[in-house]
């Protein structure tokens, strides 16, 4: 197998920004000349908000409910990509944990590494979801946790101060990144139309409202700072 790392999102909590992080990560790989295979493992099969929505439907859909879907995932590891980016949908916790259990040992034996990407917000449910995943995954993966600010003054006290979260950080030493709050004038149309931040930053967005100079500059700023964080912890993302 030529692919050496699988990066997958964890969290059964919807609306925390997992797909947004994965889209940005895919853009970061492209900017660095690294081939990444994108897989949409969202069990809800929704049209909007999924990884496919942001890549013009070109992302491969894999149904991890079935043995055939599990086999398809493993086959994609042999596709020549250095990286597999697998976006799990909300509510896929048990299914995805079973998926991981089913394929981890054989795939890891081939030298493939795993990074579990979790997104936490000020909502305690987002933290609980990540911790529940970690209880199943244990030390078989590297952890990257993104603190996603959902308001200008986001309070991450539940994530930083609760005993269970502290024990998780002590046990697994996750890489922690911050994703700053984004203005609704930019974030809402980007999500609605499935437009990547890079397209706005590079003035390629075809949606009129996203052509405003101020939003282009904000997109450039958001992307630059997020890419800088990816650069600092690239060991967690590279083969």
Q: Is the pLDDT of residue 17 over 80?
A: yes
Fill in the DSSP letter of residue 109.
T
Look at residues 130, 136, 141, 139 and name the one whose alpha carbon lies nearest to residue 164.
130
What would the pLDDT profile of 31-82 be if each residue is shown by its tens digit? 999 988 898 876 565 555 567 778 876 788 887 777 777 677 777 777 777 8
What would the pLDDT profile of 91-141 be if each residue is shown by its tens digit? 566 777 787 888 888 888 888 899 999 999 999 999 998 999 999 999 999
Instruction: Using alpha carbons, list the distances in angstroms from residue 146 to 14, 230, 239.
Output: 15, 11, 20
Strand order in the sheet with 83-88: 60-61, 36-41, 83-88, 5-10, 113-120, 142-148, 175-179
Contacts of 45 (CB under 8 A, 6+ apart): 61
CB atoms within 10 A of CB 52: 23
Query: Which region, left, alpha or beta, applies to residue 138 given φ > 0 means left and ψ of -120 to 50 means alpha?
Result: left
Look at residues 37, 128, 29 and name the one whose alpha carbon lies nearest to residue 79.
37
pLDDT, average across residues 8-16: 75
CB 85, CB 25: distance < 8 Å: yes
pLDDT for 33? 92
Q: Where in the chain are the domains? A: 5-236
**How much is the pTM?**
0.90
DSSP, residue by residue, 121-144? -SSHHHHHHHHHHHHHHGGGSEEE
pLDDT, average across residues 143-159: 94
Contacts of 79 (CB under 8 A, 6+ apart): 2, 3, 37
Q: Does domain 5-236 have CATH number 3.40.50.300?
A: yes
Largest CA distance in the chain: 50
């Amino acid at each position: 197998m030529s692919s050496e790392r699988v990066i997958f999102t964890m969290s059964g909590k919807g609306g925390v920004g997992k797909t947004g992080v994965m889209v940005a990560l895919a853009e970061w790989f492209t900017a660095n000349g690294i081939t990444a295979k994108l897989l949409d493992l969202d069990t809800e099969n929704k049209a909007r908000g999924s990884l496919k929505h942001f890549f013009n439907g070109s992302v491969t859909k894999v149904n991890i409910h079935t043995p055939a879907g599990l086999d398809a995932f493993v086959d994609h590891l042999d596709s020549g990509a250095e990286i597999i980016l697998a976006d799990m949908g909300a509510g896929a916790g048990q299914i995805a944990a079973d998926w991981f259990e089913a394929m981890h040992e054989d795939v890891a034996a081939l030298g493939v590494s795993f990074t579990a990407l979790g997104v936490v917000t000020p909502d305690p449910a987002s933290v609980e979801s990540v911790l529940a995943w970690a209880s199943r995954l244990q030390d078989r993966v590297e952890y990257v946790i993104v603190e996603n600010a959902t308001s200008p003054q986001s309070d991450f006290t539940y994530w930083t101060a609760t005993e269970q979260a502290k024990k998780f950080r002590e046990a697994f030493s996750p890489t922690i990144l911050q994703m700053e709050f984004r203005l609704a004038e930019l974030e809402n149309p980007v999500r609605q139309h499935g437009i990547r931040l890079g397209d706005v930053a590079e003035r390629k967005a075809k949606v009129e409202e996203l052509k405003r100079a101020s939003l282009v500059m904000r997109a450039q700023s958001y992307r630059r700072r997020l890419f800088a964080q990816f650069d600092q912890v690239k060991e967690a993302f590279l083969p």
